[in-house]
Amino acid sequence: MSSQASKDHPDGQKPPLLVDDHTVATIRDSKIFILLRGLPGSGKTTLAREIEQKYKDTSRLISADQYEIKPAVRSSSGGDYSKLDDELTTCFEKREARVVILDDTHHDRERLDKLFDMANTYHFAVVVLEPKTPWRLDCAQLKDRNHWKLSLEELKNLRPTLEKELLPLYFGWFLAKRDEDFLRKTSHDFLEQLGNLKAFKKRLPAFGYEDKQKLDLLKHFAKSPNILHCTTKFCDYGKVLGSEEYAQQEAVKKAYSKGYTLHITALCVTPKTVGAQVELTVDQLLTWPLDAEKEVMPRDNLPRGSRAHITLGTAAEVQDVQTGIDLLEFVKLQQSGRDGENVGELTGLVTGKVNYYENGMWMLNLSRKIEVKSIFSGYYGKPGVSVPLRGSKKGILNQCQIM
């Protein structure tokens, strides 16, 4: 990187994925699709090349400039992107890189939706980055900086599409691929062991089964997010009240694209969901909304962060958001002094004591916390997109990305 480029992008302005060692290590274990976004001449290409160099052993940089795609107010329905998309698809399908970087203006919503669908299909978490250069929205300066020689009027026409921040369906911590695979195997092992416990078989009616019937919990929880994650704030692309304010919080902006280690203390099962309870650190609580627990249980005074969870699976027709609600029911019982009935211990990939509460509520208190690496980002795709995922001895599980 040239000395001038270093001045344009001082370390204090660089995203964590370039300057934070823990984040760099986490990214290397993840599948990340990085979209550079901004006006022509704002510094996207410089930033893209720096990211490519940082992850040179596992990255692939694709640029719209390579295909002579001139930035303009346009719809994605045109044929300009066909060859670029072919290269992207090949890169995803052949697993040519864990870090895929796309350099373009990304001002068109239809175009972005197509890219988000691709990321979802191939199980890549998305990070959207914009240059922090002082002139990034100064059309007068950009007129002389952009190599397309766009006029001042053309730049001013593009600017409104890029002034407003791109808000996701939700923010959260997205697990690194290696740790995600381990957690899926762990949850499958847990469900198989739990389903074989005598104490569990005696309480099948809570799941809608007769005492002597056989219940395959892996099939019962046939849906799981295509990328395991712990949601912080549901935004609905900015439609939810307080979303824009949340995104503008300094702690949230500093956390974006940063790597975090999440600590899992328990695995929980109800007739509707199976999930992992996450214990947030003081640093992680900085990005946790003040009203996260009150949103679903307004009459209860529950500890901040007690809704933090990772959905591992849900029953048919059950949305992922139900997992957090179920977890808070456990927390309420524990607050009232009811720790459940201890019915034994599990060994294997997971070890710990199994407690039964009521109405088909089971909790495995782990003897040792599970640590998983994650990246703080947003999910920008459409809700309810279903894709297949390998990961079970039983074959293919249907996936559902909701929250």
Amino acid at 138: D
Catalytic residue, from 106, 107, 220, 309: name it. 309
CB atoms within 10 A of CB 393: 9
Tell me the C-alpha distance between 59 and 341, whole Å: 50
**Sheet containing 99-103: order of strands:** 59-63, 99-103, 32-36, 125-129
Tell me the C-alpha distance between 384 and 400, whole Å: 6
Distance (Å) of CA 144 to CA 72, 134, 151: 17, 15, 9
Rg (CA), the chain: 23
Task: Decide if 147 is catalytic.
Answer: no
Sign of the CA dihedral running 251, 252, 258, 264: positive
Task: Decide if 229 is catalytic.
Answer: yes
Q: Which residues contact 192 (CB under 8 A, 6 or more apart)?
A: 217, 218
Catalytic residue, from 9, 107, 220, 229: name it. 229
Displacement of CA 335 from its chain's centroid (Å): 30
Catalytic site residues? 229, 309
